[in-house]
Every structure is written in C-alpha cells, then in structure tokens.
Chain A
Amino acid sequence: MSDRRDGGPSGGGKHRHGRRKRVCRFCADKAVAIDYKDPQTLRYFITDRGRIVPRRISGTCAKHQRAVAIAIKRSRVIALMPFGVSGG
C-alpha cells in the first residue's frame, strides 16, 4: 500500500542516493533572519543564473521558503539581487 511508496525519511527507509535529510536552515538556527536587505544570506537560495532554488534542493521548510521567496523578490526590485543573469 502507501507504505511502499516512500518509506518515510525518518522511518528507516533507504535514501536512494545516500543523501542526508536536509534541515531548514532558518528552523535550525533561529538567529538567522530572512531580510530582503541582506543579499549575502539570500544568495545561498538563488542559482548562479539568479533563479530561486526550489525547496526540494535547498531543504528549506515551506514557511521559510515563502519568506525567502518574498525577500528575494523584494531584493530584486531594488537591484540588490539580479532578476536573471544572461549569457553564461
């Protein structure tokens, strides 16, 4: 049934590529604030082409991913972060 589908990360199921479960960075360290004025922190959550990294890659929890996405978009408007990087 459904227990075969995923195994559940904490239920002792095997991780196919031996990947460790990622923990949301902002949940792990409450001191790190999500601030649109701080492009250094946000840079971790965009690709080198300037796109927002999905949370299945970055491991951010849903709540913080929403906040990160909003912060990145605000940051883009005031030219602290790029909308996209052309070429490459």
Chain B
Amino acid sequence: MLTEWQARHQREYETIFILDPRVTREQAERVVQRVSEAMAVKDARLLKVDYWGRRKLSYRLRRNDWGFYYLLRFLGAGAVVAELERNFRMLDAVLRHQTILVRSDVDGTGLQVGAGDVEFRIDQLAKEAAEAVREQPPDAVVAAPAPPADDAGEVEDEDDDAGGDDVPEEAADGAGSDDGAAETDGEEDPADGGERGEGGAS
C-alpha cells in the first residue's frame, strides 16, 4: 500500500503501445490482463485508456505496415514503468511500446476515474483485427515457415562441405561447434546461401 505521502506525490506517465495487426482476441486479452496486473502489483492507478484503432505505421515493424494503437495514462512510481515494460517485452503481440513521464509530484488523492475511461474496447479491436486479416491475408506468415522443413539435413551437408571430403572425428567435432551459426543462417536461406557463398569465394 501507498503511504499518505506517496499518494500525494505520484508521477503521471503516458504509455503508447502498438499491437500486431493480426492480433487474436486471446492475445489482446492477455495484454490487458498483464497491464492490469502490473498496475495492481505496483499500486498504480490507470487514469485513461485510449484506443486509437488501426493506424498505418510510418515504417515497417516486424513485417507489419499497420498496428493497433493504445494510449495509457496512469499514476504511479518508477517501479510500475519497469514492471509494465517487462511485461510488454514478454508479449509477442506488442510490436512497440514507449512510456513518457508527463508530470511528477501529482496528488493522487481524491482523483475520480470513471469506469468508461479505462475501457480497453477489446470487442472493437477483435472485430477490426478480423476484418484486416480478411482483407489482407497474412502472406508474411506463410512465407516464414516454408524453409526449415529439411533444415537438419541441409546443415549437416554444409558442415561436410566446410570440413572437406573425408572428415575425421576431430574435425567433425570442430564443425559441431559451428552448428549454431549454421542453423541460424539456415533459417533465412538454407544451404543455398552457403553454397553460393563458397562458389563466390573460390
């Protein structure tokens, strides 16, 4: 609980976060739940939740051109911001978030917050998200999981190439240590990229 003094000297923050345009209702609810929990745990008070709707982004974020914007205003201490941002970082549906200190030394006692002011309007969000997905099939999602089907086999081939034709056990171990790097390369462009690279070098 807050002491009398703390309640009279709070800080007002403003947080904007952007949700993935293909967000599902469950994901959105989880975000709302995390926000409410963070507020409750750190004795903060939500003053206002503003749903801006679907907006075009000025630049692409994780292959998205659009996003759902939310603006939160709340009273609390610095610990709330840390807790809130920690949660945002864990949630995949949140593309971006930014918190700004609006005013410090705010007297939080006697402040009335209407129930309508802290409404997340998830119904509308879910509706708009569903409409957006229907209009624009998620091509980026289809493109991403295509390559890794033969990933393991391809990576092994690459190692063999790197180690030479007949690889003794020691060399194979050495190649094993490179495995991690090879796999991460493989995610984007399996085997092909590596072979092309070698061809270019020789």
A residues neighboring B (CB under 8 Å): 36-37, 74, 76-83
Contacts and interface: CB of A to CB of B under 8 A. Distances in A.
Contacts of B100: 36, 74
A79 B17 CA distance: 10
A79 B96 CA distance: 9
Interface stretch (B39-47, B53-61, B127-135, B143-151): B53-61
Contact of B96 (A78, A82, A83): A78
Interface string B18-62: 100000000000000000000000000000000000000111010
A37 B71 contact: yes
B85 to A, nearest CB: 13
Contacts of A80: 58
Contacts of A78: 16, 18, 69, 96, 98
Contacts, number: 26
The interface residues of chain A, by DSSP majority, are classed as: loop
Interface residues of B, number: 12
Interface of B: 16, 18, 57-59, 61, 67, 69, 71, 96, 98, 100
A74 B58 contact: no
A46 to B, nearest CB: 11
5 contacts: A74-B100, A78-B18, A78-B98, A79-B67, A83-B58
B102 to A, nearest CB: 11
B16 A37 contact: yes
A37 B61 CA distance: 18
Given A37-B71, A78-B96, A81-B58, 17 more contacts: A36-B100, A37-B16, A74-B98, A74-B100, A76-B58, A77-B96, A77-B98, A78-B18, A78-B98, A79-B57, A79-B58, A79-B59, A79-B67, A79-B96, A80-B58, A82-B59, A83-B58
A5 to B, nearest CB: 42
Central interface residue in B57, B58, B96, by most chain A CB within 10 Å:
B58
Contacts of A74: 98, 100
A74 B18 CA distance: 14
A79 B71 contact: no
A83 B71 contact: no
Contacts of A77: 96, 98
List 9 A-B pairs, minimum CB-CB distance, nearest first: A79-B57, A82-B58, A79-B58, A78-B16, A78-B98, A77-B98, A81-B58, A82-B59, A78-B96
A78 B72 CA distance: 14
Nearest to A77: B98
Given A74-B100, A78-B98, A83 B18 contact: no
Contacts of A37: 16, 71
A37 B98 CA distance: 12
